[in-house]
């Protein structure tokens, strides 16, 4: 059995779809659906049970799944980079993760978890996923800090050789439709183009970056799912790894790819960035991928042109946009 926490979210539900494609449906989904429309991400997926996240650890530690679980993929977290309740983040992103990791370590269960590129802060220390530099990073927001603290817990307790952590960079793709306020730029751009015929991007506030030329490492969610499937199938591969494309691209490149996928000429307007974002804005991210590559894991292959084209034409423009 494979258990996926955050299994109704963008990455978790995409992994479920990928597992189903590989013939695996002995899956338990753990999440908090509440009134969110993310339940739609599960429609048509093959899995055997759904458990609310608040009940899961008690059931797990109580023996409900004893001897039945080979892998727990822990994607469940508050992923909002603007969340201001640090105590909530510590409980949800740190303590919950520690409890799951300790159970997996004690019971010889494969544990794969989501870290984040937000741990790198502004990138002054670069984007190396080597173990010996993790403590030098200075996250720019509470979310990134909560993710860094779990990475540091794993390193401090010398268990990184028994689990796999993934520092996701800028993920976009189908099944993000419920993430109001945290939608990816391709999703926002697609709907802005439909409504207004143009896309709004933030101006640059640094002389070394022109408007629209801030760079991020954008990775298609289907590529993320492929890497995670490989890690499930190769349980001896352990460590904390970056998960991006290894090639930074500009916001202008990204939205131009959306226009092209829609068969339209680019039309971009640059707007002021909100004051609360200016001090925590990342102008450049680029995953160093050599550590993951050295394991033999096939690296993400989709350029933003290919990923955006598939997202727009195979999902956003379809009556059923889900993966």
| Residues 132-156 pLDDT 10s | 999 999 998 999 999 999 999 999 9
What is the per-residue pLDDT for 76? 92
SS3 content of the chain, % helix, strand, coil (to 5): 40, 15, 45
What sign does the CA torsion over 300, 304, 309, 314 have? Answer: positive
**DSSP bridge pairs for 249:** 216
Based on C-alpha coordinates, what's the Rg of the chain?
19
What is the per-residue pLDDT for 81? 79
* Beta-strand pair 110-116/71-74: parallel
pLDDT at 112 over 80: yes
**DSSP bridge pairs for 28:** 3, 49
Q: Cβ-count burial of 188 within 10 angstroms (0-12 exposed, 13-18 middle, 19+ buried)? A: middle
What is the per-residue pLDDT for 140? 86
Q: In 3-state terms, what secondary structure has residue 52?
A: strand
What is the per-residue pLDDT for 279? 78
- Given the residues 40, 53, 64, 179, the one annotated as active site: 179
Instruction: Provide the percentage of residues in the chain whose pLDDT is more than 90.
Output: 91
Strand spans (E) along 42-168: 49-52, 71-74, 110-116, 164-168
Q: 216 phi and psi, to 5 degrees?
A: -135, 165
What is the per-residue pLDDT for 5? 98
pLDDT at 122 over 90: no
pTM of the entire structure? 0.94
Band (pLDDT 50/70/90 cuts) for residue 275 is confident
143: annotated active-site residue: yes
pLDDT at 50 over 80: yes
CA 190 → CA 200, 266, 313, distances in Å? 11, 12, 11
Band (pLDDT 50/70/90 cuts) for residue 46 is very high
pLDDT at 163 over 90: yes
Measured between alpha carbons, how far is 130 from 10 in angstroms, rounded to an integer?
27
pLDDT at 267 over 90: yes
* pLDDT tens per residue, range 53-98: 999 999 999 999 999 999 999 999 887 777 889 999 999 899 999 9
209: annotated active-site residue: no
Cβ-contact 78, 88 below 8 angstroms: yes
pLDDT at 280 over 80: no
Name the one residue in this structure whose structure tokens are 């990455």. Answer: 11
Name the one residue in this structure whose structure tokens are 């996923």. Answer: 129
For the chain, the average pLDDT equals 95
* pLDDT tens per residue, range 245-260: 999 999 999 999 999 9
Which residues have a Cβ under 8 Å from the Cβ of 196 and sit 6 or more positions away? Answer: none
What is the second-level CATH architecture of the domain 2-172+219-246+286-301? 3-Layer(aba) Sandwich (3.40)
Band (pLDDT 50/70/90 cuts) for residue 181 is confident
What is the per-residue pLDDT for 78? 82
Measured between alpha carbons, how far is 55 from 58 in angstroms, rounded to an integer?
6
Average pLDDT of the residues in 166-175: 97
Name the one residue in this structure whose structure tokens are 């925590």. Answer: 280
Average pLDDT of the residues in 269-277: 90
Measured between alpha carbons, how far is 316 from 190 in angstroms, rounded to an integer?
8
Q: In 3-state terms, what secondary structure has residue 77?
A: coil
pLDDT at 202 over 80: yes
Average pLDDT of the residues in 294-315: 97
- Given the residues 143, 145, 172, 220, the one annotated as active site: 143
Tally DSSP H helices, then E strands, for the chain. 11, 13
Report the candidate in 231, 230, 229, 222 with the shortest Cα–Cα distance to residue 175. 222
pLDDT at 173 over 80: yes
What is the number of other CB atoms lying within 10 angstroms of the CB of residue 20? Answer: 15
> Angle between the 304-311 and 251-261 helix axes, to the nearest 10 degrees?
40
């Amino acid at each position: 059995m494979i258990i996926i926490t955050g299994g109704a979210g963008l990455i978790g539900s995409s992994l479920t779809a990928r597992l189903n494609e590989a013939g695996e449906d002995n899956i338990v989904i753990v999440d908090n659906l509440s009134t969110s429309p993310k339940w739609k991400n599960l429609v048509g997926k093959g899995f055997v049970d759904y458990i609310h996240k608040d009940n899961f650890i008690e059931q797990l530690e109580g023996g409900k799944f004893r001897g039945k679980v080979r892998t727990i993929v822990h994607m469940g977290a508050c992923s909002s980079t603007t969340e201001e309740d640090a105590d909530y983040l510590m409980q949800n992103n740190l303590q919950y993760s520690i409890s799951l990791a300790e159970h997996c370590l004690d019971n010889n269960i494969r544990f794969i978890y989501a870290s984040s590129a937000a741990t790198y802060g502004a990138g002054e220390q670069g984007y190396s996923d080597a173990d010996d530099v993790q403590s030098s990073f200075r996250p720019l927001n509470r979310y990134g800090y909560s993710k860094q603290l779990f990475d540091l817990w794993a390193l401090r307790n010398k268990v990184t050789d028994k689990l796999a952590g993934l520092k996701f960079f800028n993920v976009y793709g189908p099944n993000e439709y419920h993430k109001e306020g945290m939608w990816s730029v391709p999703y926002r751009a697609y709907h802005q183009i439909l409504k207004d015929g143009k896309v709004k991007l933030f101006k640059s506030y640094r002389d070394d970056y022109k408007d629209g030329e801030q760079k991020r490492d954008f990775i298609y969610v289907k590529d993320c799912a492929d890497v995670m499937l490989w890690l499930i199938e190769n349980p001896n591969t352990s460590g904390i790894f970056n998960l991006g494309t290894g090639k930074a691209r500009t916001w202008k490149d990204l939205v131009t790819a959306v226009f092209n996928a829609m068969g339209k000429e680019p039309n971009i307007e640059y707007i002021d960035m909100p004051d609360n974002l200016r001090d925590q804005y990342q102008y450049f991210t680029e995953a160093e991928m050599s550590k993951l590559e050295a394991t033999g894991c096939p690296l993400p292959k989709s350029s933003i042109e290919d990923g955006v084209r598939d997202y727009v034409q195979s999902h956003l423009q379809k009556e059923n946009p889900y993966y």
